[in-house]
Structure formats: C-alpha cells, structure tokens
C-alpha cells in the first residue's frame, strides 16, 4: 500500500509539491490512520479560504501509518492530549 505524506510544519523542500490544508477529522481503518484534510489557500494568500487549484476545497482523505500519525501529531503546536482537529498541515496524496 502506498501511504500519503503529511507534515506538521511547512516543508523546506519541493514546496510546490505540497498542499496546505486543515485537519477536519482523524480515525483508524484497517490498522492505518485516516486523516481528513480540507485544502486551504497558503498563508498570506487569502487566509483559510478554499484553494482554487486544490479540488476547490473538497476534503481529502489521507492514509498514514500509525507511526507517521504519532510523529506528525507530536510536531503540531498543540498540548499533549489536545486534538489536532483544526490544525494547519502540509500534505501530498500518493494513493493506495
């Protein structure tokens, strides 16, 4: 299975390959983490309005390993035990 990619901080490499989004939900399915992200315009470009070139703001489901989920959530600017819902992330859909 190909897993999708997600960063808690803005990537410094291949910036044009990443889409900015906001976490809408997180759950588990078949031993993997499923994160639903809504694409938004990058900061400084109309705030959190849906991005025109990112499927018009339609939610995207990302499939991650549980280890990647733990790593990216630990890097978000939230307190331990706080929900990542509503946090800004950078992602790449790879398919499966």
Which architecture does CATH list for 5-41+56-92?
Answer: Beta Barrel (2.40)
**Residue extents of the structural domains in the chain:** 5-41+56-92
pLDDT tens for 53-87 read 444 579 999 999 999 999 999 999 999 889 999 99
Rounded to whole angstroms, the Cα distance separating 89 from 73 reads: 10
DSSP for 21-87 reads EEEEEEEEETTEEEEEEEE-PPTTSSTTSPPTTTGGG--EEEEE-HHHHHHHHHTSSS-TT---TT-
Q: What is the pTM of this model?
A: 0.81
pLDDT digits (tens, 9 = 90+) for 38-54: 999 876 555 455 444 44
């Amino acid at each position: 299975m190909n897993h999708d990619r997600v960063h808690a901080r803005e990537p410094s490499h291949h910036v044009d390959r990443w889409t900015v989004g906001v976490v809408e939900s997180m759950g588990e399915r078949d031993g993997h983490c499923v994160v639903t992200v809504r694409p938004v315009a990058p900061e400084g470009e109309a705030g959190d309005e849906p991005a025109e070139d990112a499927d018009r703001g339609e939610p995207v489901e990302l499939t991650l390993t549980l280890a990647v989920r733990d790593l990216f959530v630990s890097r978000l600017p939230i307190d331990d035990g706080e929900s990542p819902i509503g946090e800004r992330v950078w992602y790449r859909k790879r398919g499966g």
